[in-house]
Amino acid sequence: MQPTYHAHNAFKRISSMHPRHISELDLNLLKLLDALLDTRSVTLSAERLGIGQPAASRALARLRKVLDDPLLVRTPSGYELTPRAIRLKPEVVQAMHALDRVFAPPSFEAVTSTRRFRIATTDYGSMAVLNQAVPALLRSAPHASLDVVPWSESTLDDMAGGGVDLTLYADDALPAAYAWRRLFTETFVCLYRHGHPVGPLAAAGSSASRLKALGKYPRAVIAYPSGRVTQLDDLLDQWGLRDGHVALSLPYFLAAPWIIAESDLVLVAPARVATRLASIARLDSSPFPIRGKGFEYRMIWHERMHHDLAHRWLRELIRQNA
């Protein structure tokens, strides 16, 4: 039973020393060990690393203590590696390669990337920004993928947790941990069916008279998410024009053009979307009577993604194509 006792105690000694030995290591020791295993020479290892031979000898002494092995021994034919050192050689090579990968500068190649991006937005963002940005993304990164998800009350938390890369949204206040960049400033346009009696009145005259004319007709509005509630984007009501009423609320702009084209409803929509809606249905338009009424449209991201190269590439692509 005595040999078993000694083996057991030796194992306990080695195991108890391992955490302390790990704390004694540094990258310079690993680099020297790699050189020694390759050259079998303290002198040549010192020259490869650009250090003096005394420093290399001190480092070898530390390695011998940590590894509890001489590593390099003198023989009649010169210095040779110990069996432990020979077994360590492939492990050290792998460790050096791993360190190279850890400390290598980050890189991103759009043309070969298989990254799956995830953008949250409303249908306005899809029509006003992604219509141009997505084709550009697919041309530049043909192997990448894009998921577009609806903006919701959890979108900011999703960005913080990594579930969403980027958000396209208006100029609402943001928590401190979020960065943003302005894409453009949007204005509003009034849409109504071709031949609508409000057309001549909404296109000419003073701002007050045009507002009054528009306010007499029933209107359609878009309901959009704002935090935990849904708000009606009713600009005419905001200007106190309540002669007409909200006859229809819709969750999406794309649901509106054919309804507007077949009714007397008036819809106030952002100009970029209004242009597209008018192109797919028989609609007329006029600028919103109040000059300067509009909003800033942005892309938003969490600061944790700020330095990610793929994310920076995506932001620049959207900026160029917005």
Phi then psi for 263, rounded to 5 degrees?
A: -150, 180
Using the 8-state DSSP alphabet, how is residue 129 labeled?
I
CB-based contact 285:296 (threshold 8 Å): no
Among 115, 265, 262, 273, smallest CA distance to 186 is for 273
Using the 8-state DSSP alphabet, how is residue 263 labeled?
S
- Tell me whether the CATH fold assigned to 2-103 matches the one assigned to 115-322: no
What is the per-residue pLDDT for 44?
A: 92
For 2-103, CATH number?
1.10.10.10
DSSP-assigned beta bridge partners for residue 302: 178
What is the per-residue pLDDT for 17?
A: 38
CATH architecture of 115-322: 3-Layer(aba) Sandwich (3.40)
Tell me the three state secondary structure of residue 52.
Answer: coil
> Hey, where are the domains in the chain?
2-103, 115-322
What is the per-residue pLDDT for 15?
A: 38
What's the Cα-to-Cα distance from 58 to each of 33, 53, 155, 177, 311, rounded to whole Å? 12, 9, 56, 48, 46
| Six token digits for residue 48 | 């490869």
HSE, side-chain direction, 13 A CA sphere, residue 142: 2
Mean pLDDT by 10 residues, the chain (322 residues): 37 40 70 91 91 91 90 88 92 88 85 97 94 96 96 92 94 89 94 94 88 88 62 61 76 92 94 93 90 86 95 97 93
What is the per-residue pLDDT for 236?
A: 67
